[in-house]
Amino acid sequence: MAVFLSSSPWIALAWVTVKALLVAGAILTGAALYLTALRKTLGYFTYRLGPTRVGPWGLFQVIADAVKMMIKEDILPEKADKAVFRLAPIIFMFTAVSAMAIIPWGPSDSVFASYVADPNAGILVFLALGAISVYGVALGGWASQNKYSLMGSLRSTAQMISYELAMGMAVIGIIIATGSTRLTDIVNAQHAWPFIAPQILGFIVYYISALAETSHVPFDLPEAESELVGGYFTEYAGMRFGLYFLGELVAQLVQACLISLLFLGGWNVPFFLAWIPGIAVIPATLWFVLKVCFVIFTFLWIRATMPRMRYDRLMSFGWKFLLPVSALNLIIQAVWVALF
C-alpha cells in the first residue's frame, strides 16, 4: 500500500490531505473529549458531579456549549483593528491544530496509525509553531484597542516567550541523547527505557514549561478571569473567543502528546509491563493514547489542586529556576553522551 501511495505525487498529495483532515478531525474531537473530561474530572476533584444534564452522564454538554458559542453575537469593538482582530484567534487556532500534523501516532510501518508528516526537523517544527502562536496572543490584545487587553497580551506574550526558552533547552537534552530531531527516531530510541528515567530534570522542566506555554493552571495568568478580566481576549466574544479557548485545549493536548512522545516512550510498551508475554498484541497506538490520557489526567489533577501564580514569581521561576535546571540537564546529557 505504501508503494501505491508513493507511486505518483498526486496520489501522495491526496493521501496526505486525507490524513491531514483525519488528524484535524481527530484533534478537534479530542479537544471536545478533553473538555468533557475536564468538566467531569474537575467536578469529581471538588466533591461535585460535573455536568449531568445534557445527554447520558452529561456527555453532550460539550455540544451544547459549542452551539452556544456559535450562536452568540459576534461583537467587534468599534475601534478595533478589524482585520487583525479577526485574524488573531485564527493564528492561535491554526498553530495549535497544525502542530498535531507532526505528532506520530504509531510506528511508521503501520499505515493507518500514522502521521501526516514526519519531517526530519519534527520537534523544531513544533517549537516554531509554538513561537508563531504567540502572535495570536500578542496581535489579539493589540487589535482589541483596549488597554487591559494590551497589557494582558504583553503579559501572556512575555510568559510564553520566557517558558519557550526553558522548554527548548529541555528538548535539546533529548536531541543530544537521540542524535535526531525526528520524532519517530526519538520514540524508537526509547525502546528499552523512556527518557523520563535518564532525563528526569529535563522532564520536570519540560512538563512545567508545557503547562506555562499553554497557560494551564498554575500559570493561567493570561485568562485570570477573577482578577485580571480575561487578559488578551477581554474584547472577544462568541466563536472568536471560542477559537482561543479551543486553541488552548488543543495546545494542551499537543503538549500531552509531546510529553508522552519525548519522555514517556511514545507507543513503546511501558518498561514495567514488557515482561508480560503476548503484550505486543496490543496495538502500539493504544499505548500512545493511554499515555496521552494519563498526562492529560495529571494536567487536570494539577488544575484541581493549584492556585494561580503571581506574575513576578512566574517570571522569576521561569528565568531563575527552570532555565538553570534545564541547562544543568543539558550539561549532564552532553557529558553522558561524550563519555559513553
Partner 1 sequence: MFTSVGNLAKGMAMTLKVLFRPKVTIRYPEEKKQRADRFRGRHELRTYENGLEMCIGCELCQVACPANVITVLAAENDPAHPHAPGERYGYKYQVDLLRCIFCGLCEEACPTECLHLTQDFEMADYTRESLVLQKDQLVNRQPSKFKVPTHVYPTYVGRKAVKHQ
Contacts with partner 1, residue ranges (CB under 8 A): 41, 43-49, 52, 301-302, 304-306
CA of residue 168 relative to chain centroid, distance: 14
**Could you tell me the smallest distance in angstroms from the CB atom of residue 339 to partner 1?**
29
Q: Nine-digit cell at 80?
A: 478595533
> Residues with Cβ < 8 Å from 33, sequence gap 6 or more?
62
DSSP letter (8 states) at residue 198: T
Cβ closer to partner 1: 218 or 266? Answer: 218
**Could you tell me the smallest distance in angstroms from the CB atom of residue 78 to partner 1?**
38
Confirm if 91 and 157 have CB atoms less than 8 A apart. no
**Could you tell me the smallest distance in angstroms from the CB atom of residue 49 to partner 1?**
4
DSSP letter (8 states) at residue 318: I
Cβ closer to partner 1: 211 or 254? Answer: 211
**Could you tell me the smallest distance in angstroms from the CB atom of residue 96 to partner 1?**
27
Quote the CA–CA distance of 116 and 251 in Å, as a whole number: 17
Cβ closer to partner 1: 51 or 230? Answer: 51
286-318 residues labelled b (16+ CB within 10 A) or e (exposed): ebbbebbeebbeebbeebeeeebbeeeebbebb
Residue type at position 87: L
Cβ closer to partner 1: 112 or 297? Answer: 297
Cβ closer to partner 1: 45 or 319? Answer: 45
**Could you tell me the smallest distance in angstroms from the CB atom of residue 240 to partner 1?**
33
Number of C-alpha atoms within 13 angstroms, CB side, residue 152?
A: 29
Q: Nine-digit cell at 181?
A: 530531531
Cβ closer to partner 1: 69 or 204? Answer: 204
**Could you tell me the smallest distance in angstroms from the CB atom of residue 307 to partner 1?**
9
DSSP letter (8 states) at residue 49: -
Cβ closer to partner 1: 4 or 44? Answer: 44
**Could you tell me the smallest distance in angstroms from the CB atom of residue 56 to partner 1?**
14
- Ramachandran assignment for 74, one of left (phi > 0), alpha (psi -120 to 50 degrees), beta (any other): beta
